[in-house]
């Protein structure tokens, strides 16, 4: 696995003043664990040499050695031959946000709750077969469609029309996923140093994409009950952001759904400060309670300058690398040009397969929603019965349950769960500005039958993590996550 280096001076800046009242090595190890829990140090980061960090901090080399040993003992570091000490973030070294689990691990019954992505809808095999049958008509051309296959652009536009948002095919650009769409939009609209307003928590790869564009990320809060609109409006007025990234439809990871009144209010606020709004609709159609008719209108219905990114990954299957951008017509040529600097188009076969699935979407969506509803309800029941100290709001759609723990032991929970064969992502990975140690995201995208066993393992991990926190964390002061 590739890893990054962090200089001694940069690490010192991130560490800040070490906590008092405990030995220096314990305070240093605690700070590093906190940075990992907050997502400011990522799995695989090569830590400075003991000698270099000792010099930068003005501490003895023995202190650094003991701190690195303490990190290794608690699962936050590992020795790499010839490369010194490397950070290991518990719960992120495996699974979809780290690596895929091995065949051996799968055979041993490892349960992966790191990835909020369901299996393919039943019609996927038929869609791929149909797509292959269409290939002879395609091979006479170059195979490049920088804006997307015309037939698929028309189907995407029709989906927006069915949701009450007037859209023509020439407003649609097909991409290799919603994240790729965000990268294209960022390439076009964000310059280094531009302020971008986004939610916290949020999808980790979206935050990473904004930072890759060298944006200054400004966060506002959201939880399972919804958005702190006052905080959002204050942040927008103070920051005057160039861009605002929102996920108002079954937000990942909280599951919150923004109603029409709040959408209009947020759109008006961002219009006043001159921000271009980018809306991630990856989960927008995954309503589990009620029907599509009960959903709010798409956010773009409240503003003419809204750019929307969507994806077939959650709706149909992540193996079909297809997403899209819906944008004002004036932006589409520039978006296509920006996209061409990254790739020249999505797979023709995948685009054809998604076209087929959109033509047979009613059955596919019924299957998808039924499976997700069963899994959600099983998970909710199991948690209520076996972990009553955890709190959560039952989401009306989407893919995730956002749980509040009875204490700030989330990173320890992820480490303890992995020892039970259950893979979790510490909630700090979803933070745009640090924190969230008292939360845990649980996707309900696996088969419903898996969740009783998953929660059984979670109960064991919870007991161990609480004991670890009481015996180790509390003894070292309140700053240790």
Same domain as 107, residue 213: no
Check whether 417 has a pLDDT greater than 50.
yes
In a domain? residue 324: yes
Cβ pair 344, 146 in contact under 8 A: yes
Same domain as 257, residue 116: no
Average pLDDT over residues 256-285: 96
- Give 222-240 pLDDT, tens digit per residue: 998 999 999 899 999 999 9
Same domain as 313, residue 254: yes
Give the CATH number for residue 220: 3.40.640.10
In a domain? residue 307: yes
Angstrom distance (rounded) from CA 201 to CA 224: 10
- Give 104-160 pLDDT, tens digit per residue: 555 568 999 998 989 999 899 999 999 999 999 988 888 889 999 999 999 999 999
Same domain as 250, residue 185: yes
In a domain? residue 320: yes
- Give 53-82 pLDDT, tens digit per residue: 999 999 999 999 999 988 888 778 887 666
Angstrom distance (rounded) from CA 322 to CA 172: 13
Give the CATH number for residue 67: 1.10.10.10
Same domain as 270, residue 220: yes
In this prediction, residue 324 carries a pLDDT of: 97
Give the CATH number for residue 413: 3.90.1150.10
Omega prior to 253 cis, within 30 of 0: yes
Same domain as 282, residue 226: yes
Q: What is the pTM of this model?
A: 0.77
Q: Which of 311, 326, 359 is the last residue of a domain?
A: 359
In a domain? residue 40: yes
Same domain as 337, residue 234: yes
Residues 435, 428, 5, 68, CA torsion sign = positive
In a domain? residue 176: yes
Question: Collapsing DSSP states into helix, strand and coil, what is residue 262?
Answer: helix
In this prediction, residue 212 carries a pLDDT of: 87
Same domain as 298, residue 154: yes
In a domain? residue 98: no
- pLDDT band of residue 352 (cuts 50, 70, 90) is very high
Same domain as 295, residue 184: yes
Residues 158, 162, 168, 173, CA torsion sign = negative
**Domains contained in the chain, number:** 3
User: Phi-psi bin for 32: left (phi > 0), alpha (psi -120 to 50), beta?
Assistant: alpha
Same domain as 347, residue 266: yes
Check whether 479 has a pLDDT greater than 70.
no
Q: Which of 341, 359, 377 is the last residue of a domain?
A: 359
Angstrom distance (rounded) from CA 453 to CA 438: 23
Q: Which of 359, 384, 415 is the last residue of a domain?
A: 359
Cβ pair 331, 177 in contact under 8 A: no
Q: Which domain does 170 fall in, by range?
A: 139-359
Same domain as 193, residue 75: no
In a domain? residue 181: yes
In a domain? residue 279: yes
Same domain as 369, residue 348: no
């Amino acid at each position: 696995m590739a890893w990054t280096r962090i200089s001694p001076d940069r690490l010192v800046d991130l560490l800040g003043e070490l906590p008092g009242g405990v030995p220096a090595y314990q305070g240093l190890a605690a700070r590093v664990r906190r940075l990992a829990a907050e997502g400011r140090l990522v799995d695989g980061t090569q830590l400075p040499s003991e000698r270099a960090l000792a010099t930068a901090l003005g501490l003895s080399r023995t202190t650094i050695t003991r701190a690195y040993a303490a990190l290794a003992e608690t699962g936050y570091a590992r020795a790499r031959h010839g490369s010194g000490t490397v950070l290991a973030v518990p719960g992120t070294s495996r699974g979809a946000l780290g690596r895929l689990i091995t065949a051996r691990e799968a055979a041993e019954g490892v349960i992966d709750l790191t990835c909020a992505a369901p299996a393919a809808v039943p019609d996927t095999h038929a869609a791929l077969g149909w797509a292959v049958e269409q290939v002879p008509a395609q091979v006479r051309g170059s195979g490049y469609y920088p804006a997307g296959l015309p037939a698929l652009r028309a189907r995407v536009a029709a989906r927006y029309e069915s949701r009450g948002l007037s859209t023509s095919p020439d407003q649609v650009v097909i991409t290799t996923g919603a994240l790729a769409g965000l990268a294209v939009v960022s390439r076009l609209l964000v310059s280094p140093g531009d302020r971008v307003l986004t939610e916290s928590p949020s999808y980790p790869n979206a935050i990473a994409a904004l930072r890759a564009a060298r944006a200054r990320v400004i966060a506002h809060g959201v939880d399972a009950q919804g958005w702190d609109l006052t905080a959002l409006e204050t942040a927008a007025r103070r920051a005057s952001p160039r861009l605002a990234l929102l996920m108002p439809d079954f937000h990942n990871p909280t599951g919150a759904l923004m109603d029409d009144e709040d959408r209009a209010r947020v759109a008006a606020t961002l219009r006043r400060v001159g921000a271009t709004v980018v809306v991630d609709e990856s989960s927008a159609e995954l309503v589990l309670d009620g029907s599509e008719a009960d959903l709010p209108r798409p956010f773009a219905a409240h503003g003419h300058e809204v750019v929307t990114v969507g994806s077939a990954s959650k709706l149909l299957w992540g193996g079909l690398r297809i997403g899209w951008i819906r944008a004002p017509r004036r932006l589409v040529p520039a978006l296509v040009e920006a996209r061409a600097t990254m790739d020249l188009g999505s797979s023709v076969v995948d685009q054809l397969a998604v076209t087929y699935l959109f033509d047979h979407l009613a059955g596919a969506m019924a299957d998808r929603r039924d499976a997700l509803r069963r899994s959600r309800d099983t998970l909710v029941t199991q948690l209520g019965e076996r972990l009553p100290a955890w709190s959560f709001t039952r989401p009306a759609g989407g893919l995730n349950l956002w749980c509040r723990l009875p204490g700030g032991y989330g990173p320890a929970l992820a480490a303890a769960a992995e020892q039970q064969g259950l893979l979790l992502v510490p909630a700090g990975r979803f933070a745009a500005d640090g924190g969230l140690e008292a939360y845990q995201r649980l996707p309900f995208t696996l088969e419903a039958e898996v969740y009783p066993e998953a929660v059984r393992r979670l109960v064991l991990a919870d007991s161990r993590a609480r004991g670890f926190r009481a015996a180790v964390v509390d003894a070292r002061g309140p700053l240790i996550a």
